[in-house]
Every structure is written in C-alpha cells, then in structure tokens.
Amino acid sequence: MKVLLLYDYPASPGGLATQGDLLYKGLLKMGIDAHAVNFESPQEKEWYYRWFEPDIVVGIGYWGHSPHLILHPQRYGVQPVPWLVADGFIANYQEVLNALPLILVTSNWVKEMYVRDGIDGENIEVLPVGCDTDSFAPCDKNDPKILAVRESLGISPDQLMILTVGGDAASKGAQEVMQALSIIDTKAPDWKYVCKVWPQPRTKLQNMADLELATALGIEKNVTYATNIISRNFMPYLLGACDIYAAPSRLEGFGMPQVEAGACGKPVIGINAMGMLDTLVHRKTAFLAGVAQKIIVNEVILGDESGFENEHKVIFENPRTVDYRASIHDIANYLMDLMNDAELREKMGKAARRRVIKYFDYRVVAKRFVQIITGKLGIT
C-alpha cells in the first residue's frame, strides 16, 4: 500500500496538521510506504503523483478543501480518500463527495452532519484522530517542567488549575466555564482558570469580550489568558500542569485537546453532544454537561472559501443547529465535585488514559486506517 498524505505539512501546531502528522507517523511505524506533502502545494503534489504513484491520496481538512484534497488528485488519475471534519454545515461539493468510494470522518457526529447535508452515508467511515500517548502522559506534580509551567502562569502550589486550550477560548466553552466558576467561587477551593489561546487577529476581539465577562462576573483576578505561540512539545506539560481540563465546546467534531488531557491523566469537563460522545465517557473519564441551548439558524452567508461567489446566501428548508451551549449549572456542579475530591480527579484521569491508549493511540488509529482501506477499497 502506497499512501500520499495531504495536510498542513510540515506540521504546524494546529489540530488538522497534527491529525495528519500522527497518521503519517503511525503508517511509517507499520512499515507502510507513505509520504506527506502540503495540501496547498500543487506542483509538489503533482511531483509525488508522477514518481511515487500512490494507491491513494489521503487529504486532511474540511469539505471546503475539496479542490485541494479531492479534485486535484482526480485530475491526475489518483484515488482521493478525504479524512474530513465538519464546521456545522456542509454547504457545497455534495456531488464530488458522493462520487467517492470512501470518505473518512473524525466522529459519528461528523458523519451525521454529512448525511444530514446530502452525503450518502454508505461510504462514510469513522476514523478518530490519533494521540501520541508517549508524549502525552502523566507527569509527577513536582516535575521541574510542570512546576515551571505553573510558575510562569502565576499559579501557586496550593491552587487548583483549570485549563482550556483552543484557537480561541469562547468556542471551547470558556464563557460557560467562567459563569460556572462565578457561581461556586466563594465555596470552591483556591483556583485559577487559564485559557491558552492562539495569537491571531480574528480572536483579539473575542479575547477582550471574554475578559470583560470575567470582570463583570468579578473573577478577573483568577482568570489568565495566555496568548503565546507554543509548539506541540510544550502541550503535554501545559496539560500536565492543570488539575482539571474544562472544554464544554460549542462546536466540536472530535475534541483533540480533551483526548490529550485524558492521555495526561486529567479529568475532563465536556458537553454531552457532538464528537465528545465518541471520545469521553460520562462519569468515568469525564463529566459531560447537558446541552442548555442549541443555536439554530435559518440561513448562512458563504463565499469563495466554500466554492461560492462572495455573499452567497443559503436558505435552509429546515433550520440547522450550528452551535451548542453547555449547562452552566452542570459545569458548576461537576467543577465542585472535582475540585473538592483529589481521589476522584486521579481515578477519572487514570480511566481516561486507559481509554485513550486503547482507542486513540496514533498507532491504533493507523492500524484501523489500514483495515478500512483494505476492507473498503481492496488495497493492501
């Protein structure tokens, strides 16, 4: 089996790049003949098509990347197998996607979104995102690297650190977490809430709005926004430094940081919806807050990033859920349970790591990938 992978290569710290890179490493570990190339590099992709002659081209992205991941390899007679996430609505490329013999998606919820929006589910297979459980592993709380992370964030040894990581924090449920923390503030043990966000222009206004909310709630002294660029090498220690990972995301097709937190032996607070139904087990590896609200829209405006002209309006025959909000009171109750019980944190963290190793280790995912390709396409 010869596999060419298309993703943001060389890998940046982002989720899609990490998703592709871990599959690449897993395939190499298995002895599969595989190469990786940037999905937006037509000349280099063509170069690989010509000399490597791959059996399949696996493109990592979302449906809007179809020109790069599907149409480009098809022009050269190579079989594409996209491995896709969803952003709440699949607006275009239904004909292109339905003509494929196999589509991989990251969770059962993502599959449901594609089927809902007109993609035939017969050829859609769920392949979870991998996790490097060697790097993402439990660390001793007195490890110098863990202590250095906490010191840099201004967290004292006796404080509980609650962490959320994302491109921005609000999409990961940080506003709901802050509202929950404001409810329990006076009853809970000493705590600090850290939101690690990616520095980028589109999130500046969101970060300001989040910090304004923290001020309005009266908890701003306990909330820290870290907006530094970091590498994947730092992430295991950032997660290892926290006591609770809280990310009841508003939109989540898989939830890579939640899985990585579990691999590090940390209990997670998520939301009882979307991709987290695949990755987390309520009351065993995580607490899943109930859905308090669904954000429903009747129309959307799309542009060239989705294969349309600018300001293209799509009106839905049936209103679509595009966002979720977790129950603030559920989050508050689960935070109190975890903050007051170190044994519960440890028990859930150990269960989480066992589950990640069994189902989401990148080597396990690579083996599952090969099984799917062999079973569905007959390629060995």
Q: Are β-strands 312-326 and 291-302 bridged in parallel, bridged antiparallel, or unpaired?
A: antiparallel
For 76-105, what is the mean pLDDT? 94
Residue-level pLDDT at 74: 98
| Placement of tokens 């059962």 in the chain | 108
Residue 105 is assigned to a structural domain of this protein: yes
Q: How far apart are CA 314 and CA 308, in angstroms?
A: 10
Q: What angle do CA 325, 329, 332 make, to 5 degrees?
A: 105
Assign residue 283 a region (left: φ > 0; alpha: ψ between -120 and 50; beta: otherwise): left
Do 274 and 188 lie in a common domain? yes
Q: What is the per-residue pLDDT across 332-343, written as a single tens digit (0 to 9) for each?
A: 999 999 999 999
Asked whether residue 139 is domain-assigned, the answer is no
The continuous run of DSSP H or E covering 166 comes out as: strand 160-166
Task: Render pLDDT for 120-173 as a digit per residue (tens, 0 to 9).
Answer: 999 999 999 999 999 999 999 999 999 999 999 999 999 999 999 998 999 999
Q: How many domains does the chain have?
A: 2
Q: Give the amino acid at 325.
A: R
Phi, psi of 364 (to 5 degrees): -65, -45
Pick from 83-87, 217-221, 258-262, 268-272: least confident: 83-87
The residue type at 217: L
CATH of the domain at 18: 3.40.50.2000
Angle between helix axes 15-29 and 362-377 (nearest 10 degrees) is 80
For residue 294, being part of any structural domain is answered with yes
Question: Do 306 and 171 share a structural domain?
Answer: yes
Query: What's residue 88's pLDDT?
Result: 75
User: What's the DSSP call for residue 221?
Assistant: G
Q: In what order do the strands lie in the sheet with 244-246?
A: 223-226, 191-197, 160-166, 244-246, 268-271, 286-289
Residues 58, 27 contacting (CB under 8 angstroms): no
Tracing tokens 């250095």 back to the chain, one arrives at: 148
Query: Distance between CA 114 and CA 298 in Å, rounded?
Result: 18
21, pLDDT greater than 80:
yes
- Give the model's pLDDT for residue 301: 83
Is 80 exceeded by the pLDDT of residue 202? no
Q: Which strands form 124-126's sheet, in the order they lie side by side?
A: 33-38, 2-7, 56-62, 80-85, 103-105, 124-126
Tell me what pLDDT residue 181 has: 98
Same domain, 172 and 159: yes
When pLDDT is averaged across residues 298-310 and rounded to a whole number, the result is 80
Average pLDDT, the chain: 95
Determine phi and psi for 161, rounding to 5 degrees: -105, 120
List, for residues 344-358, the tens digit of each pLDDT value: 999 999 999 999 999
Task: Write down the pLDDT at residue 199.
Answer: 83
Amino acid 93: pLDDT = 94
Q: Which of 266, 259, 269 is nearest to 290 (CA)?
A: 269
For the segment 40-75, what is each residue's pLDDT rounded down to a tens digit? 999 999 999 999 999 999 999 999 999 999 999 999
Q: For the chain, how many residues are written?
A: 380
What pLDDT was estimated at residue 36?
A: 98
Tell me which residue range forms the domain holding 83: 2-130+361-377
Q: Does residue 289 fall inside a structural domain?
A: yes
138 in a domain, yes or no?
no
Which 3 state secondary structure label does DSSP give 285?
Answer: coil
Q: What is the pLDDT of residue 373?
A: 98
68: in domain: yes
Q: At what angle do helices 256-263 and 342-359 cross, to 10 degrees?
A: 110
pLDDT tens readout for residues 179-201: 999 999 999 999 999 999 988 88
Query: Where do we find the tokens 């696996």?
Result: 58
Name residue, tokens 């109930």. 290
Q: Are residues 59 and 188 in the same domain?
A: no
Query: pTM surpassing 0.85?
Result: yes
Are 34 and 82 in the same domain? yes
Q: What is the pLDDT of residue 86?
A: 87
Say if residue 59 is in the same domain as residue 170: no
Together in a domain, 281 and 354: yes
pLDDT value at residue 205: 85
- Sign of the torsion angle spanned by Cα atoms 274, 121, 18, 11: negative
pLDDT above 80 for 302: no
**In this model, does residue 257 exceed pLDDT 90?**
yes
